[in-house]
């Protein structure tokens, strides 16, 4: 619940996530017990190890189940024989150059837009297509996989689990002996700091081991530096697009991963040392890598919600709607948000967590701190869906809200506008009337954006290449990040680049 005068974008921080149903959220929470944290763009920890003591203890008996659960949590497997052949070939080069040349590594590509990679202690390695989209040559993606393999060969999972178990034991002893809750909390805080510091050291160790493996396998040791730079740029761009404000250079003693900038500096120093040695070749494989990911899905897929212009469809929940002309939609992790060109009108559409038997009127009333009177609520049917609407007025913003029931779930539409907006009611009704159940044919018509590889011409520059993109808003910033280009880097005629097209 939040005040009637609340600025609409703030709603997304307190609303139930829309992109996944409640049953999917249960799966994600279960998977969180198997992985040490979650990673996405902006998290700053792309080469991450994700294991905990329960996973280590139960691995032999639950590998297949855990694999299936992980795959389901991250959107399923991404089916691309070309990508699978490339990654398996790179792994075949890397493993003989590791500390454990007999290690069996199985690579799974996850159908997720998140920038993510992790490995399990048994050698299962997972890479998302979101991460693949950021890499620009074979050495860069080899650096990611070499880092994850290093976590396995260095046995970081078991070492960290032992430290966690020792910390838990100390906390229990203090609790039993001293019976002082403040002392217990002090021990737990100190343990968290110790584990976080140890995890950061593990990340640097895995970086160093991975880069050394790169060089021994004949890949460019600077691949790790280039990829980490792209990751840092993507994080910065993602924060800017979401409006997040992050204090640059802030130190978090509880962070389990070092800052990306620190890792870039360390990786560059080590790569320089290795590149000067005999046998550290340059096998960047740019054209081979780009050819493999040509046509790969970029961003969200229809299964977990896809925005196309002012239209939105959720394939798994089989529901969709259209915003009025002039609105831009953003499919965030917690809701679908829309804004008019002049920012005087805003839309929020989300899935609501409800109590058993809760009615639509109760959902509307629980949206605000102020109670809605009976005169505020109207019952109706929208494209065969049971619905109810209401109004709420604040000093700076007025709101039209609706709740709709579809397939046992309740969805909410909130339309915010300025008090003197004479078109607001019409635009709200227009948006509400567009909400409908989607058929398989409807969903199939919403194909997701894809990466396409195009060769630059003699007259091309960043701006002209970005104008070819139709699936990422013709954004020069996105084009630069996807292609590993810094602010001063220029297009090279005849070289291939990634663009995003519908």
In a shared domain, residues 395 and 271: no
- Rounded CA gap, 344 and 136, in Å? 40
Please tell me the predicted confidence (pLDDT) of residue 389: 95
How many CA atoms lie within 13 Å of 377's alpha carbon, on the beta-carbon side? 18
Please report the pLDDT score of residue 155 as a whole number.
Answer: 76
**pLDDT confidence band for 182 (50 / 70 / 90):** low
**Mind spelling out the 3-state secondary structure of 288-314?**
HHHHHHCCCECCCCHHHCEEECCEEEE
Residue 155 covered by a domain: yes
Distances (CA, A) of 436 to 222, 338, 363, 405, 477: 51, 18, 19, 10, 35
- Whether residue 377 is predicted with pLDDT greater than 70 in this model: the reply is yes
Provide the token pair at 411.
């969805």
pLDDT at 379: 93
Q: Which residue has the higher pLDDT, 171 or 233?
A: 233
Pairwise CA distance, residues 419 & 404, whole Å? 25
Indicate the number of domains in the chain.
3
Q: Which residue has the higher pLDDT, 348 or 244?
A: 348
- So what's the pLDDT on residue 255? 38
| Domain match, 439 and 458 both | no
Q: What is the CATH number of the domain that holds 313?
A: 3.40.1000.10
Express each pLDDT in 255-310 by its tens digit.
Answer: 345 577 888 888 888 888 887 664 444 445 899 999 999 999 998 777 778 888 88
**Residue 51 pLDDT level (bands cut at 50, 70, 90):** very low
* 189-194 contact pairs (CB < 8 A, 24+): 191/167, 192/254, 193/253, 193/254, 194/163, 194/167
Q: Supply the pLDDT for residue 156.
A: 57
- According to the model, what pLDDT value does residue 482 have? 94
| Residues in Cβ contact with 411 at an 8 Å cutoff, skipping those fewer than 6 apart | 319, 349, 350, 351, 352, 403, 404, 405, 435
Classify residue 113 by its DSSP letter: S
189, 91: one domain? yes
In a domain, 10, yes or no: no
What secondary structure, in 3-state letters, does 18-46 show? CCCCHHHHHHHHHHHCCCCCCCCCCCCCC
What is the tens place of the pLDDT at every residue in 224-243?
A: 999 999 998 988 887 776 55
46-50, 176-180, 186-190, 229-233: range with lowest mean pLDDT: 46-50
Q: Which pLDDT does position 335 carry in this prediction? A: 84
Of 19 and 91, the one with more pLDDT: 91
pLDDT of residue 16: 31
Q: What is the pLDDT of residues 414-451, one digit of tens each?
A: 999 999 999 999 999 999 999 999 998 888 887 888 99
Domain co-membership, 458 together with 420? no
C-alpha–C-alpha distance, residues 109 and 130, integer Å? 10
Residue 161 reports pLDDT greater than 60 = no
Gap between the Cα atoms of 79 and 325, Å rounded: 36
* Residues 278 and 315 occupy one common structural domain: no
Lowest-confidence segment of 206-220, 360-374, 487-501 by average pLDDT: 360-374
Is 12 within the bounds of a domain? no
Q: Is the pLDDT at 346 greater than 90, yes or no? A: yes
Tell me, yes or no, whether 33 and 155 share the same domain: yes
What distance in Å separates the CA atoms of residue 379 and residue 403, rounded to the nearest whole number? Answer: 10
Domain co-membership, 454 together with 439: no
| DSSP 8-state secondary structure symbol assigned to residue 52 | -
Domain end point (choices 444, 460, 482): 444
Q: Is the per-residue pLDDT at 6 higher than 60?
A: no
The reported pLDDT for the residue numbered 47 is 36
Per-residue pLDDT, averaged over 372-386, amounts to 84
Residue 107: pLDDT above 60?
Answer: yes
Q: Is the pLDDT of residue 60 over 90?
A: no
What per-residue confidence (pLDDT) applies to 122? 83
Say if residues 257 and 44 touch (Cβ distance below 8 Å).
yes
Across 127-145, average pLDDT: 94
First to last CA, the chain: 38
32 has a pLDDT exceeding 50? no
- pLDDT winner (highest mean) among 91-100, 186-195, 465-474: 91-100
Grade residue 17 by pLDDT with cuts at 50, 70 and 90: very low
Do 122 and 96 fall into the same domain?
yes
Higher-pLDDT residue of 75 and 323 is 323
> Quick check: is 13 in a domain?
no
pLDDT (mean) for 362-366:
86
Average pLDDT, the chain: 77
Coil, strand or helix: which one is 351?
strand
What pLDDT shows up at residue 480?
A: 94
DSSP assignment of 68-90 equals HHHHHHTTSB---HHHHHHHHHH
The answer to whether position 299 is within a domain reads no
pTM attached to this predicted model: 0.66
pLDDT-derived band at 28, boundaries 50, 70, 90: very low
Structural domain ending residue among the three candidates 397, 413, 444? 444
Among the three residues 268, 293, 318, which one is the final residue of a domain in this structure? Answer: 293
Domain-embedded: residue 32: yes
Q: What average pLDDT does the segment 204-221 reach? A: 90
Query: What percent of the chain lies above the pLDDT cut of 70?
Result: 71
Percent of the chain with pLDDT over 90: 39
What does the pLDDT average to over 215-230? 92
11 belongs to a structural domain: no
Structure tokens given for 434: 């567009």
Based on the fold, state whether residues 271 and 404 are members of the same structural domain: no
Predicted pLDDT of residue 74: 80
Mean pLDDT over 345-372 rounds to 84
- How much is the average pLDDT of 89-94? 94
- Classify residue 281: in a domain, yes or no: yes
CA gap 211, 232 in Å, rounded = 18
DSSP class of 114:
S
The predicted pLDDT at position 137 comes to 95
pLDDT score for 238: 78
pLDDT of residue 296: 95
What range does the domain containing 288 cover?
A: 21-293
Specify whether 426 is located in the same domain as 454.
Answer: no
Using the predicted structure, report yes or no on whether residue 193 has a pLDDT greater than 70.
Answer: no
């Amino acid at each position: 619940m939040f005040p009637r005068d609340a600025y609409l974008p703030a709603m997304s921080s307190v609303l139930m996530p829309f992109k996944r149903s409640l049953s999917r959220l249960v799966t994600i929470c279960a998977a969180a017990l198997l992985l040490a944290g979650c990673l996405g763009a902006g998290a700053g920890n792309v080469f991450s190890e994700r294991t905990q003591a329960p996973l280590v203890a139960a691995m032999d008996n639950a590998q297949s189940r855990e694999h299936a659960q992980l795959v389901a949590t991250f959107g399923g497997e991404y089916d691309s024989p070309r990508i699978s052949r490339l990654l398996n070939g790179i792994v075949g080069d890397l493993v003989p150059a590791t500390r454990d040349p007999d290690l069996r590594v199985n690579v799974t590509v996850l159908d997720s837009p998140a920038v993510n990679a992790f490995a399990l202690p048994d050698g299962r390695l997972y890479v998302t297509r979101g991460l693949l989209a950021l890499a620009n040559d074979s050495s860069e993606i080899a650096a990611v996989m070499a880092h994850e393999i290093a976590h396995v060969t260095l046995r970081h999972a078991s070492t960290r689990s032992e430290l966690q178990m020792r910390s838990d034991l100390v906390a229990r002893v203090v609790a039993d002996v001293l019976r002082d809750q403040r002392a217990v909390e002090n021990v737990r805080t100190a343990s968290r700091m110790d584990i976080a510091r140890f995890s950061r050291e593990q990340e640097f160790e895995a970086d160093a081991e991975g880069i050394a493996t790169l060089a021994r396998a004949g890949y460019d040791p600077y691949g790790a530096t280039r990829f980490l730079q792209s990751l840092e740029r993507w994080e910065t761009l993602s924060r800017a697009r979401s409006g997040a404000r992050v204090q640059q250079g802030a130190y978090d003693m509880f962070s389990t991963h070092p800052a990306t900038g620190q890792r870039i500096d360390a990786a560059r120093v080590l790569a320089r040392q290795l590149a000067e040695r005999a046998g550290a070749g340059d096998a960047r494989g740019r054209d081979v890598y780009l050819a493999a990911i040509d046509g790969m899905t970029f961003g969200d897929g229809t299964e977990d919600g896809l925005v196309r212009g002012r239209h939105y469809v959720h394939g798994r929940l089989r529901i969709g709607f259209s915003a009025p002309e002039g609105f831009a939609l953003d499919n965030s992790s917690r809701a679908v948000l829309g804004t008019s060109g002049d920012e005087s009108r805003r839309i929020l559409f989300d899935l609501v967590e409800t109590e058993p038997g809760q009615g639509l009127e109760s959902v509307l009333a629980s949206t605000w701190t102020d109670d809605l009177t009976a005169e505020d609520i109207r019952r109706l049917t929208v494209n065969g869906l049971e619905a109810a609407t209401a109004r709420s007025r604040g000093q700076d913003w007025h709101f039209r809200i609706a709740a709709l029931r579809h397939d046992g779930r309740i969805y909410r539409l909130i339309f915010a506008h300025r008090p003197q907006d004479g078109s607001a009611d019409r635009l709200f009704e227009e948006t509400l009337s567009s909400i409908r159940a989607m058929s398989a044919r409807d969903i199939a018509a919403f194909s997701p954006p894809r990466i396409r590889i195009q060769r630059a011409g003699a007259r091309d520059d960043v701006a002209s290449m970005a104008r070819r993109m139709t699936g990422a808003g013709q954004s020069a910033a996105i084009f630069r990040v996807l292609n590993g280009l810094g602010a001063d880097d220029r297009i090279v005629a005849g070289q291939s680049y990634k663009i995003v097209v519908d």
